[in-house]
């Protein structure tokens, strides 16, 4: 299996998050500018010491040349400047692109920044257009499904094949909320039970509203640099140990299997690249846009056997005090989900945990983290393995 070439050659040395949830006083571009500056400051650098910028466009404020527009706002002319978009998987694919650019000598230090304002700057009508336009124009859209309906289809397939129950999915939401309860910035902090999830408003059978991610404003950014420069950074460097991608299809009607995703491909590649296994991972930060998506990723990334994700979650293993902490910030189900930048908050949380700066929810012993994101309807997957020490 081809390796990504990361192998600790790059490290994350700065990070920042904006306020999340409802942030009406800043546009998406202003949020992106804010977290860019804050992440550079967190790394102990000035903007003049950074020579690359990678961003993702915003649904609420689309700009043709988004990265250039952010740099222009800052009065900055980085040597490397690019906008990427692979949906929810953009975060970790952008990290890999930044690492590749650094390896190619196109830049030595790059900011990856993303922000959107789906709650404050997007009308309901605009949101429905986005939701209903994701399907194939001939084979899916004419039947009227929205994004939750596609994930409900995936949920039902898993239930039919493996005997998974609605209660199993509900445990994913309960686990994430238990962690969000410990995070002072989380959009939703009140503890919930399986019964609360099952009794919440139906959205797309079998999914209820608490099976679905939040709608949020927010932005986050990280600073990535060469491994040999990281030791002089102001913050403890977090090394990129492994990376993998998996691409299965564009439209769900073309999926060969609704219950197994390309996370199985990206995960195998990331493990091979890092030399680690699921048993070596201390923290999981996974893409929980809907509860069945989280359950399937747990299985496909090797943390339990296929069909056992529901029991894995129900055991409490992912909750505070469990052996495999999952989405310790609360995930997109409880912390925030501003669209394509949603996975950025899983990455910044992993960095805080690996630095030992996560406050009340800090894990007692953590050396490695696996971050995973996917774009489309379980279509395009990216897995990133991080560590607080370089590989030997």
Cα–Cα distance for residue pair 99/4, rounded to 1 Å? 10
- The answer on pLDDT for 356 being more than 60 is yes
Mean pLDDT is lowest, of 12-26, 50-64, 139-153, 279-293, for: 139-153
Q: Is the pTM of this model over 0.85?
A: yes
Question: Which of the pair, 29 or 6, is modelled with greater confidence?
Answer: 29
Q: What is the structure's pLDDT at 128?
A: 74
Cα–Cα distance for residue pair 334/126, rounded to 1 Å? 23
Cα–Cα distance for residue pair 342/272, rounded to 1 Å? 26
Band of the pLDDT at 5, cuts 50, 70, 90?
Answer: low
- Residue 368: inside a domain, yes or no? no
Cα–Cα distance for residue pair 14/36, rounded to 1 Å? 10
Closest CA to 294 of 283, 286, 302: 286
Q: Is the dihedral of CA 111, 117, 118, 122 positive or negative?
A: negative
Question: Which of the pair, 392 or 90, is modelled with greater confidence?
Answer: 90
Provide the 10 A C-beta neighbour count for residue 202.
Answer: 11
Question: Which of the pair, 145 or 314, is modelled with greater confidence?
Answer: 314
- Residue 91: inside a domain, yes or no? yes
Rg (CA), the chain: 19
- Residue 64: inside a domain, yes or no? yes
Q: What is the pLDDT of residues 146-166, one digit of tens each?
A: 899 999 999 999 999 999 999
Q: What is the structure's pLDDT at 3?
A: 58
The phi and psi torsions of 116 (rounded to 5 degrees) equal -155, 165
Beta-strand relationship, 283-285 and 368-375: parallel
- Burial group, residue 131, by CB count within 10 angstroms (0-12, 13-18, 19+): middle
Q: What is the structure's pLDDT at 2?
A: 53
* CB-based contacts of 5, cutoff 8 Å, min separation 6: 99, 100, 103
- Residue 384: inside a domain, yes or no? no
CATH of the domain at 110: 3.40.47.10
Q: What is the structure's pLDDT at 88?
A: 85
Band of the pLDDT at 142, cuts 50, 70, 90?
Answer: confident
Average pLDDT, the chain: 94
Q: What is the structure's pLDDT at 232?
A: 85
- Residue 96: inside a domain, yes or no? yes
Show the domain range for 73. 10-122+217-230
Cα–Cα distance for residue pair 270/35, rounded to 1 Å? 28
Element (H, E) at 94: helix 90-103
Q: What is the pLDDT of residues 180-212, one digit of tens each?
A: 999 999 999 999 999 999 999 999 999 999 999
Q: What is the pLDDT of residues 219-248, one digit of tens each?
A: 999 999 998 889 888 999 999 999 999 999
- Residue 71: inside a domain, yes or no? yes
Kindly provide the b/e burial profile for residues 52-66, where b requires at least 16 CB atoms within 10 angstroms of the residue's own CB: bbbbbbbbbbebeeb
Q: What is the structure's pLDDT at 38?
A: 98
- Residue 161: inside a domain, yes or no? no
Cα–Cα distance for residue pair 281/292, rounded to 1 Å? 22
Q: What is the structure's pLDDT at 7?
A: 62
- The answer on pLDDT for 177 being more than 90 is yes
- Residue 263: inside a domain, yes or no? no
Polymer length of the chain = 392
Cα–Cα distance for residue pair 189/175, rounded to 1 Å? 12
Given the structure tokens 């846009």, which residue do they identify?
289
Q: How many domains does the chain have?
A: 1
- The answer on pLDDT for 46 being more than 60 is yes
Share of the chain above pLDDT 90, in %: 85
Q: What is the pLDDT of residues 301-334, one digit of tens each?
A: 999 999 999 999 999 999 999 999 999 999 999 9
Q: What is the structure's pLDDT at 125?
A: 78
């Amino acid at each position: 299996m081809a390796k990504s070439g990361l192998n600790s050659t790059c490290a994350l040395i700065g990070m920042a998050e904006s306020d999340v949830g409802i942030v009406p006083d800043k546009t998406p571009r202003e949020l992106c500018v804010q977290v860019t500056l804050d992440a550079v400051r967190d790394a102990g650098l000035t903007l003049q010491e950074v020579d690359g910028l990678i961003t993702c466009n915003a649904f609420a404020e689309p700009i043709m040349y988004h990265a250039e527009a952010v740099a222009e706002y800052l009065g900055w002319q980085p040597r490397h400047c690019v906008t990427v978009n692979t949906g929810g998987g953009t975060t970790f694919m952008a990290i890999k692109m930044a690492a590749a650019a650094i390896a190619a000598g196109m830049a030595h230090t790059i900011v990856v920044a993303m922000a959107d304002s789906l709650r404050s700057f997007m009308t309901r009508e605009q949101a429905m257009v986005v939701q209903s336009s994701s399907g194939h124009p001939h084979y899916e859209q004419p039947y009227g499904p929205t994004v939750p309906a596609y994930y409900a289809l995936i949920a039902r397939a898993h239930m039919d094949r493996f005997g998974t129950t609605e209660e199993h999915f509900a445990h994913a939401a309960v686990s994430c909320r238990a962690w969000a309860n410990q995070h002072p910035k989380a959009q939703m902090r009140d503890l919930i039970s399986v019964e609360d999830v099952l009794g919440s408003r139906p959205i797309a059978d079998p999914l209820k509203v608490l099976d679905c991610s939040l709608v949020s404003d927010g932005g986050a950014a990280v600073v990535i640099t060469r491994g040999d420069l990281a030791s002089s950074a102001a913050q403890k460097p977090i090394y990129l140990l492994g990376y993998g991608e998996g691409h299965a299809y564009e439209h769900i009607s073309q999926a060969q299997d609704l219950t197994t995703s390309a996370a199985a491909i990206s995960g195998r590649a990331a493990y091979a690249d890092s030399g680690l296994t699921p048993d070596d991972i201390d923290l999981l930060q996974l893409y929980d846009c809907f509860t069945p998506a989280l359950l399937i990723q747990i299985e496909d990334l090797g943390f339990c056997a296929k069909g056992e994700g529901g029991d894995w979650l129900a055991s409490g293993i992912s909750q505070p005090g469990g052996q495999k902490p999952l989405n310790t910030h609360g995930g997109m189900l409880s912390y925030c989900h501003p669209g394509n930048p949603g996975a950025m908050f899983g990455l910044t949380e992993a960095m805080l945990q690996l630095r030992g700066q996560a406050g009340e929810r800090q894990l007692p012993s953590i050396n490695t983290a696996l971050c995973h994101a996917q774009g489309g309807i379980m279509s395009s997957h990216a897995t990133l393995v991080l560590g607080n020490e370089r590989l030997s």
